[in-house]
Copies of this chain bind each other. A is one copy, B any other.
Amino acid sequence: DLPLVLIAGPCVLESRAHALEVSAALKEMSVKLGIGLIYKTSFDKANRTSANAERGLGLKEALPIFAEIRETTGMPVLTDVHLPEQCAMAAEAVDVLQIPAFLCRQTDLLVAAAETGRVVNVKKGQFLAPWDMANVVAKLDAAGNGNVMLTERGASFGYNTLVTDYRGLPVMARTGCPIVFDATHSVQQPGGLGGRSGGQREFVPVLARAAAAVGVAAIFAETHPDPDKAPSDGPNMVPLKALPAMVEDWMAFDALAKARRLVV
């Protein structure tokens, strides 16, 4: 029952300058609040709604920037991988490989990620029941990697809408893996704006607080200095300035939750 960790960063790596600015600001916040922070950033948005949408710098250009963030800030870095061949390369510069929700059952990707020995964070597919994630953990285990985190990010609920089922948190915790609550994608409205996804940023504090109260190892929250100008996930990212008050709130509920542990 370690204290809550925060996984935060902008949705996508926009540029070296942007990444260094945001990561420095997050480092400062993490020190001030006394919370462990993993810096999240994507080198590629491989499944955008539209082909015209921006995708990111690509893995090769991103690797030295990932390394620089780690060195400058001392924070671990998490990035998502989309193809088996990206895993080994990404693993050189990051601490956590994240498997996107749509890809959470792609055996080759899971195995390649597992074989790097890095921590693997798998997002539960919007189409999966919480108990189905035990099969995903078993795949990673069979590939020799037991350092697995599982992330809740909403389940399909009709069209263009997700719902968070909090029963899923203790159900997934039965695997023994640390559980992450992704507050950013849980409030996404997939395809909700026609050619791109919408989001309900105003519910990030609500859903994340509920997750902290139920008890999670980490909260994942994407953030940006100016979300409405961000190339992706703007409607559901939290403004950088608004984040510290939220994190304090989550830490307060986390402390209470871990003092009064729920066993289900």
- Complex interface: chain B residues within 8 A of A159 (CB): 129, 155, 157-158, 161
Q: Which of A49-57, A87-95, A227-235, A236-244 contacts B (4 or more CB under 8 A)?
A: A49-57
Q: Smallest CB-CB separation from A102: which chain B residue? A: B102
A74 CB–B CB distance under 8 Å: no
Docked complex: A107-158 residues within 8 A CB-CB of B: 107-108, 110-111, 125-129, 131-132, 135, 138-139, 142-143, 155-158
- Complex interface: chain B residues within 8 A of A205 (CB): 262, 264
Q: Smallest CB-CB separation from A82: which chain B residue? A: B106
Assuming the contacts A102-B105, A252-B260, asked whether A142 and B51 have C-beta atoms less than 8 A apart, the reply is: yes
Assess whether A206 is in contact with B138, with CB atoms less than 8 Å apart.
no
Assess whether A50 is in contact with B135, with CB atoms less than 8 Å apart.
yes
A178 CB–B CB distance under 8 Å: no
- Complex interface: chain B residues within 8 A of A158 (CB): 157-159, 161, 163
Q: Smallest CB-CB separation from A111: which chain B residue? A: B51
Q: How far is the CA of A200 from the CA of B131 in the complex (A)?
A: 15
- Complex interface: chain B residues within 8 A of A163 (CB): 155, 157-158, 163, 165
- Sort A-B residue pairs by CB-CB distance and give the 5 closest, nearest first: A158-B158, A213-B213, A129-B159, A156-B156, A51-B139
